[in-house]
C-alpha cells in the first residue's frame, strides 16, 4: 500500500514540475520568436512585397490561360457539333437506304 501512495505523490509532483518547465520554456521561446519577427531586415520585407506582386502577376496569367482554354473548348465543341451533323446526314441517308431495302425484301 505504501508503494501506491508514493506513486500518487510522485505522479502529482512530476505533473507539477513538468507543467512549470513547459510554461517557462514556452514563454522564453515565444519571446525569442516575437523579437526575431520584429527585427526582420528590410530585405525580407522587400522580398515579401516582390512575392505579393509575383502572385498577382501569376493570377493574371492564370486568368489569361483560363480564357484561352475556354476559347479552345468552344472551338472544339463547335467542331464536334459539325461532325455530328455530318454523321447525322450520313446516318440519315443510310437509314433511308436500309428502309427501302427492307421494304423490297418484304414485298418479295
Task: Please tell me whether residues 45 and 30 are part of one structural domain.
Answer: no
The reply to whether 32 and 73 lie within a common domain is no
**Lowest pLDDT segment from 19-23, 50-54, 82-86:** 50-54
pLDDT exceeds cutoff 50 at 1 = no
Q: Got the DSSP string for the chain?
A: -HHHHHHHHHHHHHHHHHHHHHHHHHHHHHHHHHHHHHT--HHHHHHHHHHHHHHHHHHHHHHHHHHHHHHHHHHHHHHHHHHHHHHHHHHHHHHHHHHHHHHHHHH-
Average pLDDT over residues 37-43: 66
Q: Are residues 33 and 48 in the same domain?
A: no
Chain-wide mean pLDDT for the chain? 77
Q: Write out the three cell numbers for 58.
A: 501569376
Where in the sequence is the domain holding 24, given as residue range(s)? 1-39
The residue-averaged pLDDT of 74-80 equals 94
Which position has the higher pLDDT, 106 or 92? Answer: 92
* Together in a domain, 21 and 59: no
**Which pLDDT band, with edges at 50, 70 and 90, does 48 fall under?**
confident
Which residue has better confidence, 5 or 35? 35
Question: Domain check: are 91 and 105 in the same one?
Answer: yes
Domain shared by 24 and 65, yes or no: no
State how far the Cα of 108 lies from the Cα of 101, in Å rounded to an integer: 11
Q: What is the DSSP string of 45-71?
A: HHHHHHHHHHHHHHHHHHHHHHHHHHH
Specify whether 27 is located in the same domain as 16: yes
pLDDT bucket at 56, cuts 50 / 70 / 90: confident
pTM of this structure = 0.35
Residues 6 and 50 in one domain: no
Amino acid at each position: 500500500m505504501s508503494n501506491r501512495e508514493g506513486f500518487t505523490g510522485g505522479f502529482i509532483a512530476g505533473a507539477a514540475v513538468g507543467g512549470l518547465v513547459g510554461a517557462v520554456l514556452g514563454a522564453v521561446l515565444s519571446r525569442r520568436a516575437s523579437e526575431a519577427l520584429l527585427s526582420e531586415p528590410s530585405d525580407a520585407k522587400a522580398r515579401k512585397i516582390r512575392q505579393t506582386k509575383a502572385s498577382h502577376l501569376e493570377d493574371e496569367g492564370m486568368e489569361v490561360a483560363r480564357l484561352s482554354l475556354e476559347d479552345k473548348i468552344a472551338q472544339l465543341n463547335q467542331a464536334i457539333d459539325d461532325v455530328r451533323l455530318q454523321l447525322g446526314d450520313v446516318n440519315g441517308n443510310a437509314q433511308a437506304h436500309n428502309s427501302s431495302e427492307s421494304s423490297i425484301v418484304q414485298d418479295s
